[in-house]
Amino acid sequence: MSIGGTNDRKTLIDLIRNRIDEDTFEGKYEASVRKRVLFILLILTLSVVLFFVAIALGAVDIPLIDVLKAFGHRLLPGVVGAPSQDYYSDFIFKGRMPRMFLVILTGFSLGVAGMIMQGLLRNPLVSPFTLGVSTAASFGAAIAIVFGTTAIGVTLSGTIDLGIMYLEMGNILKILFAFAFAMVSIVLILLLSRGKNTSRSMVILSGVVISYLFQAGIMASKYFADDAQLREITLWIMGSMTGATWGTILILFPIVLLCGIFLFKTSVDINALSAGDDVASSLGVNVQSLRKKGLIVCTLMTAACLAFTGVIGFIGLMAPHICRMIIGNDSRYLMPAAGLMGVLILSVSDLFCRLIIRPGELPVGIVLYITGGIFFIWLIANKKWSQRI
């Protein structure tokens, strides 16, 4: 990767390694780029370390040597011996690894989606959560849980063995309904706020209104639910990573990858958008189209993850804000940084939830709500940052 606009194009490694003359304009720019790149590398490193820590720790602690042996034995069975306990491999490859990959995909999606949505609507309080996507997904899940097959007028039951995962009909419906209603919410928002000169405020207001409508639907579903269904709805709304299987990862990975690539390609346009709709238009950006496509892709990515995890709140708000405080607002760097920060926040939270009352576990949503609340109280109370919101 080359940095800089002069004839002397420098590589990323040069930028990190070489001394920079910050007295020059070019030096200042290179210094800021280096800071951003180093920050991204730092959170990437922390995420990788946390990945292995999360593999090792849990209801049953697996010694690090056995973790390494499990990986080594899987890759080179003739060379590396098996871990000391047979079930360690089961725990790692059938439970913890799919879970950590789900954490990575979900954290990345929510962090990126939050950052992109904030850039598109130029509002720092926008996220998939505040735009009603999570509420709509919760409504879909609630409908599936309470009314199940009667909601679609047919009787479906049983379990499908896909080889890589078992899917029980109730779970299939829950996933499909959650995803479908999340997408419906963004379509409704765009329909409500359509028009050539729709303001950003109108989009946000539409999201709030849609959120309230779906909230009413959730309350109605809870009213007609029995004890077991009510508990299931409540646990789904709290959000957790217990639904992680390799089949889940197989479904989510291509969605998150493709959406991530698309959104990264829009990061330059979002930089232009930060100067205002008029300035962006004059630079050749189709603002309405960018906003529409960006919101749909962000919703697609987050809805796919939320369908499996339930509601995971605040990451879409916290991750971009933390990164913005450190590396500024350049979307080309902010997007990967926000994605990785989302991974880091969700990894720490999920690990905490698995350890705090082990071998039991708390839903990760509880920790995120507490963390998110404290973070924003600090942000609001901190004069330096509250003015920037």
Q: Which residues bind other proteins (CB under 8 A)?
A: 58-60, 85-87, 90-91, 94-96, 99, 146-148, 150, 157-159, 161, 165-168, 170-171, 223-224, 226-229, 231, 235, 241-243, 245, 354, 357-361
> Looking at beta carbons only, is 175 or 203 nearer to other proteins?
175
CA atoms of 192 and 204, how far apart (whole Å): 11
According to DSSP, the residues that pair with 3 across neighbouring strands are 10
Least distance CB 361 / other proteins (angstroms) = 5
Least distance CB 289 / other proteins (angstroms) = 42
With the C-alpha atoms ordered 166, 168, 173, 175, is the resulting torsion angle positive or negative?
Answer: negative
> Looking at beta carbons only, is 171 or 371 nearer to other proteins?
171
Q: Are 296 and 254 in contact (CB under 8 A)?
A: no
> Looking at beta carbons only, is 76 or 154 nearer to other proteins?
154
> Looking at beta carbons only, is 91 or 314 nearer to other proteins?
91
> Looking at beta carbons only, is 146 or 343 nearer to other proteins?
146
Instruction: Report the alpha-carbon angle 115-243-219, nearest 5.
Output: 75
- How remote is the C-alpha of 37 from its chain's centroid? 21
CA atoms of 14 and 21, how far apart (whole Å): 13
Q: Are 95 and 241 in contact (CB under 8 A)?
A: no
Least distance CB 57 / other proteins (angstroms) = 11
- Residue identified by tokens 């979900």 is 106
Least distance CB 133 / other proteins (angstroms) = 24
CA atoms of 304 and 161, how far apart (whole Å): 21
Least distance CB 376 / other proteins (angstroms) = 29
How far is CA 72 from each of CA 20, 76, 79, 99, 283, rounded to the nearest angstrom?
42, 6, 8, 20, 52
> Looking at beta carbons only, is 238 or 317 nearer to other proteins?
238
How far is CA 147 from each of CA 83, 219, 229, rounded to the nearest angstrom?
46, 14, 10
Least distance CB 235 / other proteins (angstroms) = 8
Least distance CB 213 / other proteins (angstroms) = 21
> Looking at beta carbons only, is 159 or 199 nearer to other proteins?
159
Least distance CB 273 / other proteins (angstroms) = 41
> Looking at beta carbons only, is 284 or 360 nearer to other proteins?
360
With the C-alpha atoms ordered 208, 213, 218, 222, is the resulting torsion angle positive or negative?
Answer: positive
Strand segments (E) across the chain: 2-3, 10-11, 159-161, 166-168
